[in-house]
Structure 1
Amino acid sequence: MTATLAIAFIIPVIGGSLLLCVFWPRERGLRGDLPLILALGAGLGLGLSSAGFFIGLVGFGSSKAFFALEAMGLAVLLGLALRRVRSEALTGPRRPVGHPTGAPFVSWLLAPAFAGSLIAALVRFGYRSATYPHGAWDATTIWNLRARFLFRGADHWRDAFSNLLGTWAHADYPLLVPGAVARAWSFIGSEPQAVPILLGLVFTLATALLLWGALTSLRSRGQGLLAGVVLLCCNSLVYQGANQYADVPLAFFMLGSFVALALADTVKEGGDGLVVLAGLTAGLAAWTKNEGLLFVLALFVARLLVIARLRGGRQALRCQGVMVLGLAPMLLLICAFKWGIAPANDLLASLQPTDILDRLTNPWRLWFVLHSFGERFLALSGWLAAAPLALALYLLVVGWRKEGVERESLGTMLVTLGLVLAAYIFVYVVTPYDLAWHVATSMHRLALHCWPSLLFAYFLIVRNPEAAVTEL
């Protein structure tokens, strides 16, 4: 059982990593970016395997055909990746962007802090998983419940989307997490509760390692380690991962899209492949939660505006066309799911135009939502205002980065996150549910969606600790 469980996760993780190895820009090389490739590949592989499992279920009514295709695809990717590795070995490895040589002792000092934060996060995750092995409310009533329908349902798996389950089941939610869990259960042949626990753990660790790897590659080892410490100290990341919720995978794919765009800004050749990857990860965000659809729309609008401002409208349209190549397959799958299987969204179905206008013109509702969001962001670290105050102090000490900033990707990042937060605020203001209840039960998770990406943007902007120490 243990070996089969491990293989059920290893296959998609390796598959996603091999896929990245095949299409990774040659200008950057594989060796220096390997931690980044493994972190991004883990989530990418799990997301694509979830989508493939669902397609197999719809198309063939069985997972056997999917597993056969998965094995064939893995073999092909392995061959292509080995060919890429041999080619790189012959031409010589290329040094990745962003490895300063000054003050190496900074990373030596930060490495124990990162290791300690990682161990503490694992302990917190393990304790909460032991206390709540079936996850929290949404895990039992939405994500794992739907996974059991997909695994047990046979010809009746579509009953998972019946309105008879009630609005609390949110039957219109996308299926990345349930699909990944059901795929692993189908591979194993039983329903060990360790599967959703491990899925939460993989995405929790992959999010932290992705942030660390991206900033190490783009900036410095010290910057990557410091960002990793800040994120791992975020109690909400660890607890929502252990709760087996879809919010951590969503945060991962949002961050993955921004990382791919930032990397694309650093290469002269092969950047289009990274833009396609950004579209694919954005599509997987939409396959994770409905909020991911908001993210896709915000990302598309933001990137169009930013590139049009910096390079002109024609280049903006071309770049968006490249991103659509990665985005389109997942959007087609989501449209088929939404229109052919899922019921209407309960929140949208409950909204009436007159009620929306009344709520939008109520200043108290807007103030309450804004104040609540501020509190949630301040409390993300578990100690009120600890993380924001520490980041503000760090900025005062090291200062802004004055050159070498990825303007397109950073501008896209900030505008996208601004649009996403504005959309979240709008939804809360017009919600047909009790506002205090709606805020109390969900806003902390929506703040988490943006937190890793906000940290990524912040540490791209501020100077590296190595550079600051060298000038002392």
Structure 2
Amino acid sequence: MNVFILSFYILSIVSYFLILILPAQNRFLFSTLILCAIFFLIYHLVYKNFRSILTTVRSIPFSYFLILIIYVAIGVYGMYLRWIAEPYGMWDAWAIWNLKAKSIANEFLFGNQVNFANEYWPHKDYPLGLPLVHSSIAILVGGWSEWISYGIQIVFFVAIGFVFLLHSHSKKLHYIYLILPLLILAMNSQVLTIASDLCAEMALSCFLIIIYYSLIRESETDLKNDSYSGAVNYGLIFAAPLIVKNEGIIYVGGILFLYSIFYILSGKFTDRTKSMRIKNLLYTLLPTLVLALLLVYWKYKGNQLIPEDFNQDKAVGKLTWELILGKLSFINIYFSTFQFSMMNGIFFIAISLGLFIRKRAFVSVALHLFFILMIYHFLFIISNKDISWHLNTAYIRIHSSLIAPAIFLGWSSIIMLLTRKKEAKVKRSET
């Protein structure tokens, strides 16, 4: 799964600088360099480990893949029904993500100098990671098409299901344990909504679930092998949400903070010596620092550093305690409706299960999920938008990106409890 998230990360960064540096309409040179970057990634991340990857794939039971195929078929059919009614995704997607991607691709292909700070872009302050991946594919194929957006959303949806498959395989679970979480996701209207709406929430959901999987399944990374590249790769995984939306900074900052506290002082961080643990932590933080500097550079080149929704210079009135309390009353209504009426409390069930496991990885994931929920409350409080409009258009959508990670946390926690129970029975029988 590291390959997936690293490829997305690198493709967006490479695309940005190629479009910035190359002469407009030079599709041949752009395509050549992009394909070289892709082949470089495939060689270093896949081909070098081809035998181990092939061995892993061969060892996965066919029943797992069959369940994954059913999950994808149900999900794609649900997306298709929504795309018939809303072929360009929701208005927010068309006005922000697809508009930017189409604009970048067309300007480059038509021979115009690409302007990364167009005044007519709504939310021009958002990072361009997601639109750049879309636009780079459009340049490769020679023109913009909504099928590019549809395809990428389906890839994110498949990747989420594949995380469940990999975890099931690593735990040697019966296929029945894989059916329930994937069916819940494939038939969840909110998950299908963020997939078919063509917004960035699906990317965030996918990145988060990979981050959580990487934390819970420490053995998947090569950090423990005292590897510099392993530490850098892990850092890139953490940093990836930064290129999708502004709140990616919160995801990255929160998870790196928790990761640092739980791992820097423990023997879990790859090496017995404290100096090597600290060195690997710095390697892990380096990609986040680089990406943060790129984000600042992007803002400096024509976009405000503070997102427009939270720029207090644009606020109608100053933020007072009376206004905060008034906003909280609105937020709590949406909170109760979404968390308990629509989601049946799965977020807090998952967080409680993660804390109950009392393992560093599960506790850090549970705390991070709780951290995100609290931060989103804070963001709505300091938003300069009309609170009722902002909640109506954004609350359910942005929290829907947390559904798959929450289900994964709760499901993997239950698997861990069952595994412990089974191991305890074996020990008792041996004694």
**Contact 1:43–1:203 under 8 Å retained in 2:** no
Kindly state the Cα deviation for residue 231 of structure 1 after the two structures are TM-superposed.
2.3
Aligned partners of 2:383, 2:412: CA distance in 1, in Å?
A: 35
Aligned partners of 2:220, 2:137: CA distance in 1, in Å?
A: 37
Aligned partners of 2:113, 2:144: CA distance in 1, in Å?
A: 16
1:255–1:395 Cα change, 3 Å? closer
Gaps of 5+ in 1: 1-36
Name the counterpart of 2:294: 333
**Contact 1:254–1:281 under 8 Å retained in 2:** no
Q: Does 1:123 align with 2:77?
A: yes
Number of equivalent positions:
409
Equivalent residues in 2 for 1:27-176 (5 A)?
37=1, 41-62=3-24, 64-79=28-43, 81-85=46-50, 116-154=70-108, 158-159=114-115, 161-163=117-119, 165=120, 169-176=122-129
Aligned partners of 2:98, 2:56: CA distance in 1, in Å?
A: 44
TM-superposition CA deviations, 1:111-156 (whole Å, max 9, x none): 8776544332121111112222211101211111111221122475
**Contact 1:56–1:66 under 8 Å retained in 2:** yes
1:224–1:359 Cα change, 3 Å? farther
User: Which of 411, 418, 427 is residue 370 of structure 2 equivalent to?
Assistant: 418
Give the match's secondary structure for 1:462: helix
Kindly state the Cα deviation for residue 269 of structure 1 after the two structures are TM-superposed.
2.4
Aligned partners of 2:99, 2:197: CA distance in 1, in Å?
A: 14
**Contact 1:150–1:157 under 8 Å retained in 2:** no
Name the counterpart of 1:303: 259
**Contact 2:238–2:256 under 8 Å retained in 1:** no
Aligned partners of 1:150, 1:276: CA distance in 2, in Å?
A: 30
Give the match's secondary structure for 1:441: helix
**Contact 1:279–1:326 under 8 Å retained in 2:** yes
**Contact 2:264–2:281 under 8 Å retained in 1:** no
**Contact 1:215–1:224 under 8 Å retained in 2:** yes
Name the counterpart of 2:152: 199
1:142–1:241 Cα change, 3 Å? same
TM-superposition CA deviations, 1:44-85 (whole Å, max 9, x none): 434432221111111224454442233334444555544543
User: Which of 308, 321, 331 is residue 346 of structure 1 equivalent to?
Assistant: 308
Deviates more, 1:46-55 or 1:239-248: 46-55
Give the match's secondary structure for 1:161: coil
Give the match's secondary structure for 2:217: helix
Name the counterpart of 1:190: 143
Amino acid at match of 1:333: L
Aligned partners of 2:301, 2:190: CA distance in 1, in Å?
A: 35
Name the counterpart of 2:429: none
Deviates more, 1:317-326 or 1:188-197: 317-326
Aligned partners of 1:357, 1:395: CA distance in 2, in Å?
A: 31
Aligned partners of 2:3, 2:231: CA distance in 1, in Å?
A: 16
Amino acid at match of 2:390: H
User: Which of 269, 276, 294 is residue 250 of structure 2 equivalent to?
Assistant: 294
Aligned partners of 1:255, 1:299: CA distance in 2, in Å?
A: 12
Aligned partners of 1:96, 1:116: CA distance in 2, in Å?
A: 20
**Contact 2:310–2:383 under 8 Å retained in 1:** no
Give the match's secondary structure for 1:290: coil
**Contact 1:209–1:228 under 8 Å retained in 2:** no
The alignment yields a C-alpha RMSD, in angstroms, of 4.1
Name the counterpart of 1:257: 211
Q: Identity of paired residues, percent?
A: 15
State TM-score, norm by structure 2: 0.79
Name the counterpart of 2:166: 213
Name the counterpart of 1:459: 411
1:301–1:55 Cα change, 3 Å? same
Aligned partners of 1:177, 1:418: CA distance in 2, in Å?
A: 26
TM-superposition CA deviations, 1:245-282 (whole Å, max 9, x none): 11100111122222223332577426765553332123
Equivalent residues in 2 for 1:422-437 (5 A)?
422-437=374-389
Aligned partners of 1:82, 1:324: CA distance in 2, in Å?
A: 27
Amino acid at match of 2:240: L
Give the match's secondary structure for 2:195: helix
Equivalent residues in 2 for 1:302-451 (5 A)?
302-307=258-263, 317-344=278-305, 345-350=307-312, 357-359=319-321, 362-378=324-340, 384-385=342-343, 388=346, 407-451=359-403
Name the counterpart of 1:4: none
Kindly state the Cα deviation for residue 440 of structure 1 after the two structures are TM-superposed.
1.0
Kindly state the Cα deviation for residue 96 of structure 1 after the two structures are TM-superposed.
12
Amino acid at match of 2:241: A
Aligned partners of 1:385, 1:240: CA distance in 2, in Å?
A: 15
State TM-score, norm by structure 1: 0.73
1:406–1:432 Cα change, 3 Å? same
Amino acid at match of 1:320: L
**Contact 1:124–1:238 under 8 Å retained in 2:** yes
